[in-house]
Structure 1
């Protein structure tokens, strides 16, 4: 399969940001900057790489292979790691019935995956993919994008009225749908491959202009979280800041040369994404036992733990690639 260098770089840097954004003891401003665009980035790339060459039946079979089976597998793995906390722990997990996560799997609300918070991404992208296959694939990308923008605008205006989360992450999926369709438009229009953006001096000028704007706007809007339907101080700024962050990351990646490390991270992201929180759970408990919470070491731990979690997940990915490739959609 032909690799697109800037896509590999974007996925690699994106998954690093996802892991770092979940690391304990991270600086608040870094957290805000990461969350302002890191999940929209993955929905954007999913749309950018979406194929229009399959029939509905073929597309659904591919969806089952690439997303539904990995979702089931990583849910099972997360459940197995959660069970010891239920039986032998003394926290919130021990006060729940052992089958509680299984019942939540049926409803799959975005805020209900307490065994592994990142699992919400799978049903969210599954819902978006089904909508794309059945409805939006019949439309021109620009038409689908406009519809998704109208839906997102309506959601941003009325988000305060949502008291109960929708099943199968449908509410968060309506947000992700906008970035997915934006990815399709970017691919169809050839925006990321334009001649102007191939000129390095122009890219550097854009970065010098856009980076300060992104930094100030993201911090001013404050904490956001697509999973929690939290869009900051001014909700309508959220999609604009996210798009700006995605574009800036693309500009940075367009300056980078092909890298085996980026390609490995991009390929391994299917394992890094759902497994790193499990590793963090054990690392954090161990570190709290041996380190003083006021220690200067805590300022370094988010970066050390992120690197360690990524390395471990890459080993797991390589193992699954050889032993159980279908579990990771290969």
Structure 2
């Protein structure tokens, strides 16, 4: 969830998408919208609200990462990703495991992991083996692996509209669906990497597309198909992509429209941008807040706390040199 923009090459879309560098306020706004949708989907676990946000919320982050991508030396990029992403992953996972060992006994319950050292195996496997307050931990390793593989290809074929990309993207689509039909077992969330690669490519290719007003109509129609529940919803963690091509197409359409919205409100989206800047910490911690407080709080309060408490933790970590080094 890198916040940096990427270089724009000749023939790319307007600079509102990918300027020469620096922080883009609209990117943080888009992340803010996306992470609030993620929290909403974990507070309202059934019904039309849940189905609406599940129709797009995780693909949005993959598309945004692809849109901001630029080719980098594969070796250095891989090492940087492993260090910058897996260090916070391990730190937040260890923090929540320790917290669960304390909180659950205080409530008169057994911790989720209480058979040591046997429980080290599911902890190390991650992905579909992590549930309850850890359920979101599939996302970062999946995004990281997707970005590493995508960067290797992008370093070779720098133009995402190069025809040679078709030799990769077209086979990946059926592979993604077939894997999801065969199993939902996912080590470190890697089951979803084929679809993640497709979404990263779509985001990168969108850099090259100049916006036209007529695009509102087909994108809005496809988006409404998912938001309304007309199309089957998505569960990227389990590699369940709904109706082939249509559900993921609806997710892409909704995300692209939200990017347009974010560009428009970017100059005045201060609080949303603030949420977006804390999105990684919110991603890791919000499910734990929901898990521990859901027996005693109503859903609106859960939503508020699941955003506010991780944001508070983010600002505390940001102020501490040790906190920044370990968690951010």
Which TM class, normalised by the smaller chain length? 0.7 to 0.9
Q: CA deviation at 1:86?
A: 6.1
Q: Does 1:113 align with 2:130?
A: yes
Aligned twin of 2:326: 327
**Count of aligned residue pairs for this structure pair:** 300
Correspondences of 1:3-14 after superposition (within 5 Å): 3-14=23-34
CA RMSD across the alignment: 2.7
CA distance in 2, matches of 1:158, 1:73: 30
CA distance in 1, matches of 2:327, 2:69: 18
- C-alpha distance 149-30 of structure 1, shift in aligned 2 (>3 A): farther
Report if aligned partners of 1:270, 1:328 keep a CA contact under 8 Å in 2: no
Q: Does 1:270 align with 2:306?
A: no
Larger relative contact order (Cα-Cα within 8 Å, sequence gap ≥ 6): 1
Secondary structure of the corresponding residue to residue 296 of structure 2: helix
Aligned twin of 1:185: 205
CA distance in 2, matches of 1:145, 1:14: 29
Q: Does 1:155 align with 2:152?
A: no
Q: CA deviation at 1:44?
A: 1.1
Aligned twin of 1:216: 225
Aligned twin of 2:304: 307
Aligned twin of 1:169: 189
Q: Residue deviations 1:172-202, cap 9 Å, x none?
A: 1111111112122223x1x2xx3x45xxxx4
Q: 1:56 aligns with which of 68, 74, 79?
A: 74
> Structure 2: which 5+ residue stretches go unaligned?
1-20
Report if aligned partners of 1:145, 1:178 keep a CA contact under 8 Å in 2: no
Q: Does 1:28 align with 2:33?
A: no
CA distance in 2, matches of 1:116, 1:95: 11
CA distance in 1, matches of 2:113, 2:259: 45
- C-alpha distance 277-99 of structure 1, shift in aligned 2 (>3 A): farther
Comparing 143-152 with 261-270, greater Cα deviation is found at 143-152
Aligned twin of 2:144: 126
CA distance in 2, matches of 1:77, 1:8: 26
Q: CA deviation at 1:158?
A: 5.4
Q: Residue deviations 1:215-242, cap 9 Å, x none?
A: 234512233200012222x233222111
TM-score (structure 2 length as normaliser) = 0.81
- C-alpha distance 279-61 of structure 1, shift in aligned 2 (>3 A): same
Q: Does 1:245 align with 2:265?
A: no
Q: CA deviation at 1:22?
A: 0.6
Q: 1:280 aligns with which of 287, 290, 293?
A: 290
CA distance in 2, matches of 1:63, 1:322: 23
Q: CA deviation at 1:272?
A: 0.6
Report if aligned partners of 1:151, 1:174 keep a CA contact under 8 Å in 2: yes
Report if aligned partners of 1:79, 1:101 keep a CA contact under 8 Å in 2: no
- C-alpha distance 185-207 of structure 1, shift in aligned 2 (>3 A): closer
The structure with the greater share of residues assigned to helix is 1
